[in-house]
Amino acid sequence: MIARLLRRLFAHLDGPLLGLLALLLLISLATVYSASGASPEKMVAHLRNIGIALTAMFLVSHIPPQRLMQFAPPVYVLGVLLLVGVALFGVVVNGSRRWLDLGLARIQPSELMRLAGPMMLAWYFHYKQSTLGPRDFVLAAVLLALPVGFIAKQPDLGTSLLITASGFYVLFLAGLSWKVMVAGAVTAGAALPLAWNYLLHDYQRQRVMTLVDPMSDPLGAGYHIIQSTIAVGSGGMAGKGWMGGTQAHLDFLPERSTDFIFAVFSEEFGLVGNLFLLILYAAIIGRGLWLAASAPSLFGRLLAGSIVLTFFTYAFVNMGMVSGILPVVGVPLPLVSFGGTSMLTVLAGFGILMSLATHKKLVKT
Amino acid sequence: MRTRLINPEEEFRRYRQRMEIGAVVAGIMLLGLFVRFVWLQVVQYDRYHALAENNRIALVPAPPSRGVVYDRMGTVLAHNYSAYTLEITPSKAGKMDDLIDQLAAIVTIDVGDRKRFKKLLAESKNFESIPLRNQLSEEEAARFAVNRYRFPGVEVKARLFRQYPFGESFAHVVGYIGRIGQKDAEQLEATGRSANYRGSDHIGKLGVEASYEHWLHGRTGIEKVETDSSGRAVRVLSRTPPVSGHNLWLHVDSRLQQVAERMFGEYRGALVALDPRNGGVLALVSRPGFDPNLFIDGIDQASWEVLNHPVERPLINRALRGIYPPGSTIKPFMGLGGLELGLRQPGDTISDPGYFTLPGSSHRYRDWKKDGHGMVDLKKSITVSCDTYYYGLARDMGIERMAGFLRQFGFGQKSDVDLDGELPGLLPTPEWKQRRFKQPWWPGETVIAGIGQGYMLASPMQLALATMTLATRGMVYKPQLVKAWQDPLTGKVVHATPTRMGKLDFNERNLRLVQEAMVDVMLPGGTASGAGAGAPYLIAGKTGTAQVKSIKQGARYDEHRTALLHRDHALFIAYAPADNPKIALAVMVENGGHGGSVAAPIARKVMDYWLLGKLPDIGPGPAGSAAAEGGAAEEEQEDSVSLEERPLPRVEAGVEE
């Protein structure tokens, strides 16, 4: 009786994926513990964040895909409206207009768009699947460009690029023509100098320049990259041991429990630890893609695939930034960095993935 | 555009294909990251490891404690004590004047502190911390600590300070340390010693502090400290402790030094006393002195001006750098030369008419005694300081031979005492004159050189050294200040061995004759009989007078009329006991007048203390003040031979006309 109840409760959770995620969260706990200098407050907050996010994943995994599909357009519209609201009444913090003050709390609508964007596109392709044509791809691109444009204007280049990526994954999986992709890539390449000169803000240009030559401003813009690269490199083969990272514990690493937590991990666990982490991420992505492919509906497959590939993108961009091959963008290491919002969106995404893959008894379309 | 119907199977196949492509690309990118990690963590590991260590580890110098200087009895002449200073690092501090005003509200900062700070600030580099106030009281240090957060770049440091408890008594012996200046830094850099001075602020500038800097400073230790990103030390990783400097013991006796110093009273002058048994410097006085403590952290303008008084010039070490014509003190050496060179026999006598003339010249080289000394042999020539005898001897000897003989005693060259800044004096030769003035040597110049006038110059140190060489019967020791030192590592005290520079071979009879004559100088009938009166030991001495202003031929020398500053310098050399010398000394009193009346009594008191342990009755310059009145006591006059005559004007050197 109880066993059956439990089985029903966990019916929509994928065991192997859950195991892999749990392993990653354990790594996160150990690393945040070290990065925060064994701060109990931080650990309590981190455990709370993980608890909330896991609960969200659990709950979301029970939502049937049809319901998610129904939600997609209204959530997207709400998101876009909020972005318009931000553009009109947003609160400026650190030079960026990203937040909307609702009196009770400040919200960042761009976070909502991380899931609402690909959901909307997946919904659109699902809706149009029987009559899919090039025109639909154009329309889908417009649906994507609308929120991305608002977010890029805030300015929040990192988020807008990542939402573009997750939208692109939907288009890609839906069968975007190779010709268009090649043409797009060529156009983008050609437009790069223009974008450099006219679209990017000074600080964004500087971040890229810093990547090319961090030593040009070692105590200013280059400081983050220099110190994180030193942390990673000095970790060596086996690392300095848990809690033994000098870069982290002597305050040389900035943002060490959030965006730069990978530097702490890398310094303390070395190449061996990094390899393990890469394999863990690869396994999660592999299992995720496998689950995505087993989703019964096109909506499910497209959305699930996009969620997994976006997860990969976040991990790649973060590790690339910390190890000095990508510019500094405010992207946390998914499921490892300290921070409630990121934890929640990523695990809720995996909840959706599990829901899409495990609700088999669907009306085949 | 055509709309086509896609069957689910085809759609799914394409989806799978796209997904596989996505998976492969993701895999390749993760592999790319791995390659990057291998590059950073394996290939470039050494570099990043070093960078991380550089980040984390700071090497903090641990300055050593400077060696202590003692006198021969173990009395402290220079030592260290610990105290708080208030220091400002200009690069970290804001506007200096406002800052000092604000600080003045918390700790006392007087005008002198401000002035000194300004001076140091102008001399220093921006990143050094500069002391504003020294020796903060506990209360002031605590009051600042509370307000510290308001003053970035300002801190209280506990430092070791140097102190010279005897003040001006040993300024010219022990010297002082001062802050390392630009020149010192360059010097340290050039000699490869700058690493050892990381963390040191001071360096020896004068005296033993300067000449024994390499021993006194010690070896700087290093603390390996782990620091966080703000540079705050987190913990000490390892520590190479500093090695203190050597402790030094000097030959100098602080009480003897003070006795000698007091005897000078208000007079300017110098005294050097040597130990004939080993060349040790028993006393080295240069008056006036100055307080070396003023210099340690930069001297203020007012004190500096006082110290640069054009006449007093307390900063000049007169014992080493004060060079004067040796006057009659050269006569024993000249006399010995006459005997040794076979120019005179002990029994040879001259008849002294009170002057000397060169053949074919009417110029009279006058004796200090107008009517002459009558029949004079060598012994008497020293005892009564007969000038005429030496005019003739000098002419017979010639300037070249004279210079050659006197050089053996150390005239005209540095004594190589272990102090910096010594002047070599001058032993003139025709060659020197040609080089210096592009003029030939005149015979008359040889004549006056015979009584130590003219170009010849000697420092008190040189006179003392030459006198010691007479006392040792020709054994030449290098004058030496340092008697012993303590190795800071083993704690072992090492005694300096006397440095023998050579042995002069004199005919025993000749030497004894000169020595006996010098003993007679101190006895009734001698020029220093006053100073020698009542001595329970035998003294060998010789008086002298260094002329300050040349007197015109025919003019009478009247010291009453002569401005005080134009009065002769009084000189006296001596050793005692004459039969077993334990002290050899030279005294020079600037503008003191006659050697017998002013310089010799000082020497007598010094010898009394050294040989008998007798402390003089301390008055304000007992010997000096009487003479300063202008009415020098007759019995102490150099010309005491003729007591019946009133003090005579006296010229020791004629001037070519």
Out of A231, A282, A305, whose CB is closest to B27? Answer: A282
CA distance A227 to A257: 14
- Would an 8 Å CB–CB cutoff place B5 in contact with chain A? yes
Please indicate whether, in this complex, the C-beta atoms of A251 and B228 are within 8 angstroms of each other: yes
Residues 210-239 of B with CB under 8 A from A: 226-230, 234
Residue B81 at interface with chain A, using a CB cutoff of 8 Å: no
Annotated active-site residue in B129, B200, B211, B328:
B328
Those residues whose C-beta lies under 8 Å from the C-beta of residue B280, and which sit 6 or more positions away, are B72, B251, B274, B479, B480, B481, B483, B498
- Residue B48 sits at the chain A interface (C-beta within 8 Å): yes
Mean pLDDT per segment of 10 residues, for chain A of length 365 residues?
80 90 96 92 94 94 91 93 89 78 78 91 89 87 93 84 92 89 88 79 74 64 84 93 89 87 95 96 95 90 94 95 86 92 92 88 47
Residues 546-565 of chain B with CB under 8 A from chain A are: none
By DSSP bridging, strand A91-93 and strand A96-101 are: antiparallel
> Cβ neighbours of residue B540 under 8 Å, at least 6 residues apart?
B470, B471, B515, B518, B519, B521, B522, B574, B575, B576, B578, B581
CA atoms of B458 and B172, how far apart (whole Å): 18
Model pLDDT, residue B509 = 93
Residue B18 to residue A320, Cβ atoms within 8 A? no
Distance from CA of A92 to the nearest CA of B (A): 30
- Examine the residue annotation and report whether B194 is marked as an active-site residue of this protein: no
Candidates B1, B14, B33, B41, partner chain A, best to mutate (most A CBs within 10 A): B41
Asked if the C-beta of B55 comes within 8 angstroms of chain A's C-beta atoms, the answer is yes
Q: How far, CA to CA in Å, does B354 sit from each of A27, A122, B650?
A: 113, 134, 11
Count CB-CB contacts under 10 A for residue B241.
Answer: 11
Q: Do B468 and B498 form a contact (C-beta atoms < 8 A)? A: no
Structure-block tokens of residue A142: 């417009």
The identity of residue A324, as a single letter, is G
Among B31, B40, B56, pick the best mutation site for testing chain A contact (most A Cβ within 10 A). B40
**In Å, how far are A115, A134, A139, A140, B18 from A174, measured between CA atoms?**
17, 11, 13, 11, 8
Tell me the residue type at A72: A
Q: DSSP for B296-357?
A: TT---HHHHHHHT-TTT-TTS-HHHH--B--GGGGHHHHHHHHHHTTS--TT--EEE-SEE-
Q: Could you identify the residue written with the tokens 């025993």?
A: B508
Q: Please, are residues B85 and B113 in contact by the beta-carbon 8 Å criterion? A: no
Judge whether B18 is closer than 8 Å to chain A, CB to CB: yes
B16 touches chain A (CB under 8 A): yes
Question: Which pLDDT score, from 0 to 100, does residue B248 have?
Answer: 94
Claim: this prediction has a pTM higher than 0.90: no
Cβ-Cβ contacts under 8 Å, A234 against chain B: 45, 48-49, 51-53
- Chain B contact probe: residue of A128, A135, A173, A234 with most B CBs at under 10 A: A234
Residues of B in contact with A286 (CB under 8 A): 23
* Residue from the list B33, B56, B229 with its beta carbon closest to the beta carbon of A319: B33
A234·B48 Cβ contact <8 A: yes
Residues in chain A with CB shorter than 8 Å from the CB of B19 are 173, 289, 292-293, 305
- Residue B219 bridge partners (DSSP): B243
Inter-residue contact B485 to B491 (CB < 8 Å): no
Residue with token string 């102090």:
B419
Chain A within 8 Å of B43 (Cβ-Cβ)?
Answer: no
Residue of B nearest to A239 (CA): B41
**Residue B158, φ and ψ in degrees, nearest 5:** -90, 125
Give the minimum alpha-carbon distance from B231 to chain A in angstroms, rounded to a whole number.
10
A340-358 and A298-322 helices, crossing angle to 10°? 150
Shortest alpha-carbon distance between residue B114 and chain A (Å): 35
Using CA atoms, how far apart are residues A216 and A206, in angstroms rounded to an integer? 10
For A274, B41, B235, the CA distances from A254, given in Å and listed in that order, are: 20, 20, 22
Q: What's the residue count for chain B? A: 657
Find the residue in A nearest to B10 (Cα): A175
Among A131, A233, A364, select the one facing B48 at the smallest CB separation: A233
Residue in the block written with tokens 């006399």: B335
Closest Cβ–Cβ partner in B3, B14, B48 for A133: B3
Residues of A in contact with B6 (CB under 8 A): 129-130, 132
Of A169, A301, A323, the CB nearest to B36: A323
Tokens 């009145």 — which residue? B629
> Chain A closest CA to B53's CA: distance in Å?
8
Residue stretches of chain B with pLDDT short of 70? 1-6, 91-92, 124-128, 230-232, 549-565, 617-657
Nearby residues of A171 by Cβ (< 8 Å), 6 or more positions away: A121, A137, A140, A141, A144
Q: How does strand B57-62 pair with strand B221-227?
A: antiparallel
Which alpha helices (H) appear in B75-157, and where do they start and end? 96-104, 111-123, 138-147
Cβ-contact B275, B262 below 8 angstroms: no
Phi, psi of B459 (to 5 degrees): -95, 160
DSSP E strands in B28-70: the ranges are 57-62, 69-70
